Amino acid sequence: MEGHEFSIPSTPPLLPPLNPSSPYLFTPSLPSSSLQTPLEPQIFSDIDWATLFSSQSGVAETGPMMENSCAMAESKGEEEKWCKESKRKISRMKKTSRPRFAFQTRSVDDILDDGYRWRKYGQKAVKNSTYPRSYYRCTHHTCNVKKQVQRLSKDTSIVVTTYEGIHNHPCEKLMETLTPLLKQMQFLARF
């Protein structure tokens, strides 16, 4: 897989990338000078930030984000219309209490290898975006975590991934890596 560059507009995600073969970079946690190609946090009016950042868990802040996003609208009319729609979505999403976080990825691949297994259950064309939004569910039978993946129409190299919920099981790929090590440690511990 190719290298990915992450940019999180407000706060870092709860779960770090788990696949060591994928050198993900999180810009907010690193000084921009330390990156080879810094990706400044940006607000895109064509992404549905209201949906992406409507979290009650405090993972993401909606207030300043929404103000900035509204300011990015091209015309006054568009701005009012867009803000109105976003506020409606926020009020709708506040009814759900599942933790959510979103982050941007600069990548040619829409799907990130985050170590978990996902099944795609839908794809929809969304308003204000050229690219469709894809819906995925964690394949673990007891896990109800979902994620949405959408490419920005303004910057086609950037993919926005939104996670909803918290996995209630270990990461399969991480366990695959750790299990032999743990067995070896248990074996050695007997001496």
Partner DNA sequence: CGCCTTTGACCGGCGC
Partner DNA sequence: GCGCCGGTCAAAGGCG
Name the residue nearer to DNA (CB basis): 156 or 184: 156
**Residues near DNA (CB under 7 A):** 48, 51, 84, 88, 91-92, 95, 117-128, 133-136, 139, 146, 148
Closest distance to DNA from the beta carbon of 127 (Å) = 3
Closest distance to DNA from the beta carbon of 14 (Å) = 19
Name the residue nearer to DNA (CB basis): 32 or 139: 139
Residue written as token pair 């109800």 = 144
Name the residue nearer to DNA (CB basis): 38 or 110: 110
Measure the CA–CA gap between 97 and 93, rounded to whole angstroms: 8
Residue 76: φ, ψ to 5°: -60, -45
Name the residue nearer to DNA (CB basis): 27 or 107: 107
Closest distance to DNA from the beta carbon of 32 (Å) = 31
Closest distance to DNA from the beta carbon of 85 (Å) = 8
